[in-house]
Amino acid sequence: MKHEFRVTVGPVGFRIGSDWKQPLDRMRRLYQGYPVPDIPDFTVRLFAQRPWRKIIRPSVTIGGDYMLPDAQPMALAHGLLAAEMGMNLQMALGQRRYLVLHASAVERDGKALLMTGESGAGKSTLSALLGERGWRFMGDEFALVDLENGAIHAFPRMVSLKNEAVALFEAQPDRLGPIMHITPKGTIRHLRPPEDAIARMEESARPAMLLFPRFGFEPAVREMGEAEVFVRLTQASTNYVALGEAGYDALTTLVRSVPTRAIDYPDTERAVEAVERLWADLG
Amino acid sequence: MTEAVFRADPPDARRCVVLADGVTVVYHRPSGLTHILAPPAPEVLAAMSEGDADTGTLIARLERDHDLSGTDDLRGTLTARLVELETAGLVWRP
């Protein structure tokens, strides 16, 4: 394609081709210093469905090795988001080397804390906040479970801050991408992960605790049965079915070895307190 | 009326992991599907692996391996579990 950008995030290499320069310039700024893959694992394409759509009301269609046939084009102003969505799509549909969990992850002392839950549960914000407070940020979107040894591999792409969470990081403009309003997920602003998260992104960690956070409720901690955890993690995985027996092995091992709690929290400060307390007790 | 006879795959056609809350997670190799079974379905499935069986034969196998004394309506319970396992594709009628 006319413009190209390559980046390695954790153990995965991407090539992003685009009809436009602007989204890739924005990626270059936010992903500065990330390794560049020689042979990418996945290709993402940002293209105009019709030639005139490159110029007149330019709209970005997301393509690549794996595509959603009915994906709606996005405004060029949201091109950075389109690229990120394209990268997520390749991981969700095409990744076969790891069990992909839709979960955020942070690490301390070689041990990983995983946080998963429905969209809007706050796992992304929570991981970004913990990444500023003594934890190594490993990823806000996907945790990659090693099929051989169960270790968690980092996938520290840009953090996708949504709506209220955008304000939490405004004091660090150098790390922030453009603010994007009225996207399919509301207001979005990307945050470059902390430098140590980028420098150490090849380091895996042993899973030590799994949380199902839920934002907007009175503080509460609930134990969860292994069967419920297993079912919810199959739902949180994008490739459990595709991996077959290897995915079954990885997931049953994870569920049986990692203490799990559901936590409700009314605000991020209380969430961080609850995480620290649980980590001291169980981690 | 003769009872329906059911058949199951041999034991090496599946992987079973018992979770802490007592349920068994079964990976069924021929279909690639994962099933979550509560007792006594895993025990029924294991007993069925010995060969084709109707409910009477199944009861005999289970009584040999497990203490079933005091179980109310054993025949009805096992018939219901067999129908559920059939729906899940883990047993079938040959």
Q: In the structure encoding, which two tokens stand for residue A201, read together?
A: 């992104």
Mean predicted lDDT score pLDDT of chain A: 94
The DSSP bridge pattern shows strands A159-162 and B24-28 to be unpaired
Cα separations (Å) of B18 from A90, A119, A230, B23, B35? 33, 30, 12, 6, 12
Model confidence over B13-38: pLDDT tens digits? Answer: 999 999 999 999 999 999 999 999 99
Q: How far apart are CA A115 and CA B76, in angstroms?
A: 43
- Angle, helices A79-94 vs A22-30, to 10°: value is 70
Model pLDDT for residues B41-72, shown as the tens digit of each residue? 999 999 999 999 999 999 999 999 998 887 78
Instruction: Suggest the residue from B34, B35, B36, B37 to mutate for an interface test with chain A (most A CBs closer than 10 A).
Output: B34
Amino acid at site A267: D
Sort out which chain B residues have CB atoms less than 8 A from A248's CB and list them: 15, 25, 27, 34
Residue (of B48, B47, B21, B15) closest to B34 by Cα position: B15
Q: Position A142: which residue type?
A: F
Identify the contact set of chain B against chain A, taking CB-CB distances under 8 A. 15, 17, 19-21, 23, 25, 27, 29, 32, 34, 36
Nearest CA in chain B to A225: B21
| CB spacing of B21 vs A241 below 8 angstroms | no
User: Structure tokens of A42?
Assistant: 């996945």
Regions in chain A scoring below 70 on pLDDT: 283
pLDDT at B1: 57
pLDDT for A58:
85
Residue from the list A225, A226, A248 with its beta carbon closest to the beta carbon of B34 = A248
pLDDT digit string, tens, across residues A230-254: 999 999 999 999 999 999 999 999 9
How does A212-245 read in b/e, with b if 16+ C-beta sit within 10 Å?
A: bbbbeeeeeeeebebbbbbbbbbebbbbbebbee
Q: Where do we find the tokens 């994962």?
A: B34
For residue B34, give the H/E element and its range.
strand B33-37
How many CB pairs lie under 8 A apart between chains A and B?
Answer: 35
The torsion angles phi and psi of B74, rounded to 5 degrees, stand at -60, -45
pLDDT of residue A205: 98
The whole-number pLDDT of residue B2 equals 74
Predicted confidence at residue A53, as pLDDT, reads 80
Cα A135 to Cα B86: distance, rounded to the nearest angstrom = 49
Task: Show which residues on chain A lie within 8 Å of chain B, measured between beta carbons.
Answer: 225-227, 230-231, 234, 240-241, 244-245, 248-249, 252, 255-256
Structure confidence at residue A183 (pLDDT): 86
Q: Which of A231, A234, A248 sits opposite B15 (nearest CB)?
A: A248
What's the gap in Å between the CA of B20 and the closest CA on chain A? Answer: 6
User: What number of helices (H) and strands (E) belong to chain A?
Assistant: 8, 16
Q: Which stretches does DSSP call E strand in chain A? A: 3-9, 12-18, 42-47, 59-64, 74-75, 98-108, 111-116, 136-139, 142-146, 152-153, 159-162, 180-183, 186-191, 206-215, 220-223, 260-265
Strand partners, B31: none
Nearest Cα residue in chain A from B19: A226
ipTM at complex level: 0.91
Q: Is A18 helix (H, G, I), strand (E, B) or coil?
A: strand
> Using one digit for the tens of pLDDT, what is the confidence trace for B70-85?
778 899 999 999 999 9
